[in-house]
């Protein structure tokens, strides 16, 4: 067996510099790792940069679908709403105001000011109130704190997702994933000249393009925002073609090689990023040279095709965030109710406690229920 060579810098991969590389980036939920593909130093430099560029572009989708990751969580992200507010969307669908709000309005009588504070948490509110106390020593801090209310409300505006795909860094991450699958299927990186050329040389021509002209996945599971990497080496056309799809909506074809001399080979790896489960997909990569060329020239994106791809998976994201938010709210309500019903821990619940529980639960559940009602009215 020949010693593997790093697909990026062409150094020999030894036991010392070998590294486990995610076939699909961990940042968007990838699981499978492979060794003997790139060296550790390349993995830490260019590999990392490309992946973060891709993960950043796709982060709104990672948050929206609530992907599960092996390492870390998809970072919260600020979005503007259609009502021009700025809100921070968290992984499990909850939202925060961007920053705490503080305002002072002089009273008309001229004998004081009214202060309004909106904080993201009680500790933050306390810190802000201490600031008020420094400015206005006559303020009774305890009284203010006793009257402080923790409130949650729902954003009735839509978040404006600004999704943009593309660019050479994210593009290289996509090409690298296809190349990794080719290499792990037994096609040496050196044969995939189109791919390695693009990955190694800063000013080289991109070897990928978007493809929505037909569905290349023949047994697409309904509603799953799947990730898929597929390759096919063809002895007749001498091509190694690749297909990469993320979240069911970003669909890319690539030509890794046009000097393939080996046997016919195809291989696919796909997952559901919400659960991490592997999917068994049939991908038909019967694309001609002309098809690929046209994809490179943005000619394989029929009108409405990208929207149609989104339409298939968006309801899944809505349901997932609804489920998560429902669980979060119910858990919080139960905790709140038990903590405040007057029963001591470990003590039997008396009828008066139970009477209180329902009311306390409703206090916390109300905003959620009202929001759901409002949403369902909007739909009608």
Q: What letter does residue 258 receive in the DSSP assignment? A: S
Answer positive or negative: Cα dihedral of 62, 74, 376, 155: negative
46 or 272: whose CB is closer to Zn ion? Answer: 46
Compose the 42-61 pattern: x for residues touching Zn ion by CB under 5 A, - for all others.
x-------------------
CA distances 157 to 83, 87, 269, 364, Å, are 6, 11, 38, 21
Residues pairing with 5 in the sheet: 12
Query: Closer CB to Zn ion, residue 7 or residue 241?
Result: 7
Shortest CA distance to 265 belongs to which of 234, 310, 223, 296? 234
Residues 191-210 that bind Zn ion (CB under 5 A): none
Instruction: Please list every residue from 336 through 365 that binds Zn ion, using CB under 5 A.
Output: none
Residue closer to Zn ion by CB (options 198, 211) is 198
Q: How far is the CB of 72 from Zn ion (least distance, A)?
A: 24
Where does this chain touch Zn ion (CB under 5 A) — which range of 3-11, 131-139, 236-244, 335-343?
3-11
> Shortest Cβ distance from residue 179 to Zn ion (Å)?
13
Q: Which CB, 6 or 58, lies closer to Zn ion?
A: 6
Beta bridge partners of 255: 241
Closest distance of CB 32 from Zn ion, Å: 20
CB of 15 to Zn ion, least distance (A): 15
CB of 36 to Zn ion, least distance (A): 12
Would you say 43 or 59 has its CB closer to Zn ion?
43
Mark out the alpha helices in the chain (DSSP H runs).
40-44, 46-65, 122-135, 141-147, 168-184, 193-200, 289-296, 305-340, 351-379
- Extended strands (E) in 219-283: 227-234, 239-246, 250-257, 265-271, 278-279
**Nearest-approach distance from CB 202 to Zn ion, in angstroms:** 16
What is the closest distance, in whole angstroms, from the C-beta atom of residue 174 to Zn ion in the complex?
19
Which of 9, 148 has the CB closer to Zn ion? 9
Residue 39 DSSP symbol: B
180 with 34: CB under 8 angstroms? yes
Nearest distance from C-beta of residue 193 to Zn ion, angstroms: 17
Dist. CA 311–CA 65, nearest whole Å: 14
Stretch that binds Zn ion, among 4-12, 222-230, 235-243, 305-313 (CB under 5 A): 4-12
3-state secondary structure of 361: helix
**Alpha-carbon span 329 to 366, nearest angstrom:** 10
How do 239-246 and 278-279 pair as beta strands? unpaired
Residue 180 interacting with Zn ion (CB under 5 A): no
Q: Which of 4, 5, 6, 57 binds Zn ion (CB under 5 A)?
A: 6
Per-residue contact flags (x/-) with Zn ion for residues 84 to 123, judged by CB under 5 A: ----------------------------------------
By beta-carbon proximity to Zn ion, the closer residue of 39 and 183 is 39
Site size for Zn ion, by CB under 5 A?
5
8 contributes a contact to Zn ion by CB under 5 A: yes
Residues 25-44, one symbol each (x = binds Zn ion by CB under 5 A, - = not), give --------------x--x--
Bridge partners for 278 per DSSP: 271
Nearest approach, Cβ of residue 11 and Zn ion (Å): 5
Q: Which is nearer to Zn ion, 6 or 231 (CB)?
A: 6
Interatomic CA distance for residues 167 and 165, integer angstroms: 7
- Asked if 59 and 73 count as a contact pair (C-beta separation under 8 A), the reply is no
Pick 46 or 59: Cβ nearer Zn ion: 46
Count the Cβ atoms, other than its own, within 10 Å of residue 194: 24
Paired strand residues for 242: 231, 254
Where does this chain bind Zn ion (CB under 5 A)?
A: 6, 8-9, 39, 42
């Amino acid at each position: 067996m020949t010693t593997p060579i790093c697909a990026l810098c062409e150094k020999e991969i030894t036991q010392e510099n070998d590294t486990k590389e995610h076939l699909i980036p961990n940042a968007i939920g990838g699981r499978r790792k492979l060794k003997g593909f790139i060296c550790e130093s390349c993995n830490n430099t260019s590999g990392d940069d490309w992946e973060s560029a891709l993960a950043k572009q796709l982060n709104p989708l990672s948050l929206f679908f609530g992907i599960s990751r092996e390492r870390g969580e998809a970072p919260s992200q600020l979005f503007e709403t259609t009502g021009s507010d700025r809100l921070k969307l968290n992984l499990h669908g909850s939202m925060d105001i961007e920053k705490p709000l503080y305002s002072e309005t002089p009273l008309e009588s001229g004998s004081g000011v009214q202060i309004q504070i909106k904080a993201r948490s009680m500790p933050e509110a306390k810190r802000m109130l201490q600031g008020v106390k420094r400015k206005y020593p006559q303020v009774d801090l305890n009284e203010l704190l006793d009257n402080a209310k923790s409130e949650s409300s729902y954003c009735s505006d839509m978040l404006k997702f600004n999704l943009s795909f593309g660019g050479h860094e994210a593009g290289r991450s996509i090409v690298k994933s296809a190349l990794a699958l080719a290499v792990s299927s037994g096609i040496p990186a050196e044969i995939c000249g189109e791919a390695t050329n693009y990955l190694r040389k800063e000013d080289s021509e991109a070897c990928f393009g978007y493809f929505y002209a037909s569905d290349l996945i023949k047994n697409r599971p309904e509603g799953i925002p799947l990730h898929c990497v597929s390759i096919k080496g063809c002895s007749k056309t001498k091509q190694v073609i690749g297909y990469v799809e993320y979240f069911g909506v970003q669909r890319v074809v690539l030509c890794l090689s046009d000097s393939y001399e080996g046997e016919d080979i195809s291989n696919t790896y796909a997952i559901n990023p919400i659960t991490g489960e592997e999917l068994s997909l049939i991908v038909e990569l019967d694309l001609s040279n002309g098809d690929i060329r046209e994809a490179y020239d943005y000619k394989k994106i029929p009108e409405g095709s990208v929207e149609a791809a989104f339409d298939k998976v968006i309801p899944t994201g809505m349901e997932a965030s609804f489920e998560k938010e429902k669980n979060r709210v119910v858990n919080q309500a139960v905790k709140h109710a038990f903590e405040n019903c007057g029963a001591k821990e470990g003590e039997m619940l008396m009828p008066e406690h139970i009477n209180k529980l329902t009311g306390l639960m409703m206090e916390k559940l109300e905003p959620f229920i009202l929001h759901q009602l409002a949403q369902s009215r909007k739909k009608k």
